[in-house]
């Protein structure tokens, strides 16, 4: 029988419950028979995959491969995925480099099909690395069945420290946020920005996100998210504003403050 993770409430109180029970719920979920079968199949067969065609023609392998990067909805888009993989990431005009969503870049880079070098699928530890991402993503998706905001919060908790550790400029880090749909939604909500901001010129979006981050979080420097307390502060703002929005309220500073007090 497959274990279904759960959260008893929305908002920051739901998040604190999830973090307290994360180890137990994650362990129970990892013992789900369906998950175990998918992971075992991938571990046993991915080493024989040497090109994009091999990968996309095997539904089970492709689902795990894409799922590890949160791209499971692209399983039917085989021609598109082959192009992402075959182009690689070295050329400036490679498809993964031209797409706004940088998860495709990470996916293509991980498999390494777009070079003259051997594919990375046969490298020691490759399967374990992909499966670690897949297992975490599957847990997040299962949480999302219960509460989508909790799924987004888990995604932010996982991705922000990785982003903060990258050796890139602050603006490049912000563009990564803007190009990552789950992270973008967390920041939009936490900063009180309207979803329609996405219609603005990209440079204008960057300015707005940085300005609001300064006003709401006290800084626009994304490298600070290598500190788990900074990540937690963002998630607290996100879950509180999301809870207010779900109740049809307006997330004014006073309303957010009240929500934080109620969830304290």
pLDDT tens column, 163-189: 999 999 999 999 999 999 999 999 999
246 pLDDT band, cuts 50/70/90, is confident
pLDDT for 253 beyond 80: no
All CATH 1.10.3700.10 domain ranges in the chain, comma separated? 32-131
pLDDT tens column, 207-226: 999 999 999 999 999 999 99
pLDDT for 255 beyond 80: no
pLDDT of residue 165: 95
pLDDT for 5 beyond 50: yes
Mean pLDDT of 248-256: 50
The whole-chain average pLDDT of the chain stands at 92
DSSP 61-129: HHHHHHHTTT-GGGTT-HHHHHHHHHH-SSSTT-HHHHSS-THHHHHHHHH--SSSSPPGGGSTTHHHH
pLDDT tens column, 45-54: 999 999 999 9
Mean pLDDT of 75-91: 96
pLDDT for 195 beyond 60: yes
Task: Write the CATH number of the domain with boundaries 32-131.
Answer: 1.10.3700.10
pLDDT of residue 261: 40
Rounded to whole angstroms, the Cα distance separating 114 from 69 reads 18
List phi, psi (to 5°) of 117: -85, 160
pLDDT for 197 beyond 70: yes
pLDDT of residue 152: 97
Place of tokens 């993989």: 85
pLDDT for 256 beyond 50: no
**Closest by Cα among 165, 122, 131 to 60:** 131
pLDDT of residue 249: 52
pLDDT for 114 beyond 90: no
pLDDT tens column, 115-164: 888 999 999 999 999 999 999 999 999 999 999 999 999 999 999 999 99
Calculate helix-pair angle for 228-246, 148-165, nearest 10 degrees: 150
């Amino acid at each position: 029988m497959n274990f279904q993770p759960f959260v008893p409430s929305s908002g920051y109180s739901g998040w604190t419950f999830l973090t307290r029970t994360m180890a137990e719920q994650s362990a129970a979920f990892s013992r789900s028979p369906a998950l175990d079968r998918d992971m075992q199949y991938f571990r046993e067969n991915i080493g024989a995959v040497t090109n994009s065609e091999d990968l996309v023609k095997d539904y089970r392998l492709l689902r795990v491969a894409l799922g590890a990067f949160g791209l499971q909805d692209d399983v039917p888009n085989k021609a598109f995925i082959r192009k992402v993989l075959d182009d690689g990431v070295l050329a400036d005009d490679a498809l993964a480099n031209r797409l706004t969503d940088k998860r495709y870049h990470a996916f293509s880079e991980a498999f390494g099909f777009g070079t003259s070098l051997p594919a990375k699928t046969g490298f020691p530890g490759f399967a374990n690395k992909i499966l670690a991402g897949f297992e975490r993503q599957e847990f997040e998706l299962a949480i999302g069945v219960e509460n989508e905001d909790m799924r987004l919060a888990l995604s932010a908790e996982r991705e922000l420290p990785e982003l903060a550790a990258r050796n890139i400029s602050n603006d490049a880090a912000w563009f990564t946020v803007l190009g990552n749909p789950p992270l973008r939604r967390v920041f939009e909500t936490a900063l009180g920005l309207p979803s329609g901001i996405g219609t603005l010129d990209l440079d204008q979006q960057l300015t707005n996100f940085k300005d609001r981050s300064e006003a709401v979080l006290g800084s626009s420097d994304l490298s600070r998210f290598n500190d788990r307390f900074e990540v937690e502060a963002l998630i607290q703002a996100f879950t509180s504003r999301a809870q207010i929005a779900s109740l049809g309220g307006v997330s004014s500073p006073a309303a957010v403050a009240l929500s934080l007090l109620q969830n304290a």
